[in-house]
Amino acid sequence: MRINKSLLTNLLALLLVAGSYVLGEPLRPYLFNTGLFALSGGLTNWLAVYMLFERVPGFYGSGVIPLRFEEFKHAIRNLIMEQFFNRRSLDRFFKDATEISDRLEIELKASVRKLDLDSVFESLVDAVLRSSLGGMLGMLGGRNALESLRDPFKEKLEDYFQVLFDKASFRHHLQDAVKNSVESEAVLGKLEAMIDSRLEEMTPQLVKQIVQDMIREHLGWLVVWGCVVGGLIGLAFSVLVTV
């Protein structure tokens, strides 16, 4: 059973606030301020994580990951076309292949496994660092704090694109694209249109689902540390006030 770190930490902070009304002096202000500051820190970071994926009216920069999905799709398209379906590659296919559509299908499947998805991951990290979470992430290591997400992110995308380009409808369109074409230039144009059509199936909601659970699980620690740092500040404040 997966424990929701964010919810558990915020509940503990809330219990500290509630417990302060049970305890008498002199512990009450220490417990109250520690719990209140911890709760404010945890809720602030929870909201920041939430706003990576959801638009919140009145909050500039919220929903940054779905908002950048067009850029995300454009990066994938360029990777496929520039790395594996450039004119030089197609000229080679037409020169020595008898079943061009079969060769292209095999190459496309292989290309998904070889895609340089690191650049797509870096784009995602840049979006996160420019969001309202950037400051807190900087305290916890900045870009390095998200590095452990790189391999799971790449694996999820590879699996998704393997399924996307392995559909029977795509194979049929690929065969149709080269059936009456006699030069690589014509096939290249058709390939670009086909890949664009496939990528159009990616919606903001789908992009969000690909990364949401993975990132939320990892960034849940920001809520924990927000509570810890907030609680320490609240405790220090109580000590300074009573001295």
Nearest-angstrom CA–CA distance, 160 and 209: 11
* pLDDT for the residue 15: 93
Question: Residue 57, preceding bond cis, omega within 30 degrees?
Answer: no
Give the pLDDT score at 176. 62
CA distance 147 to 125: 9
- Residue 197 vs residues 49, 81, 194: alpha-carbon distances, Å: 32, 14, 5
Alpha carbon distance 79, 81 (integer Å) = 6
Burial class (CB in 10 A: 0-12, 13-18, 19+), 100: buried
Q: How many helices (H) and strands (E) does the chain have?
A: 12, 0
Q: Break the chain into its structural domains and give their ranges.
A: 5-60+223-242, 64-218
pLDDT of 98 reads 47
Cβ neighbours of residue 130 closer than 8 Å, sequence gap 6 or more: 61, 64
Reported as a single tens digit per residue, the pLDDT across 3-44 is: 678 888 989 999 999 988 888 778 888 999 999 999 998 888
Quick one: pLDDT at residue 219?
Answer: 72
- Among 88-92, 154-158, 169-173, top mean pLDDT goes to 154-158
Q: Residue 182: what pLDDT?
A: 47
What pLDDT, in 10s, does the model give residues 134-144? 776 676 667 77
pLDDT confidence bin for 231, thresholds 50/70/90: very high
pTM > 0.85: no
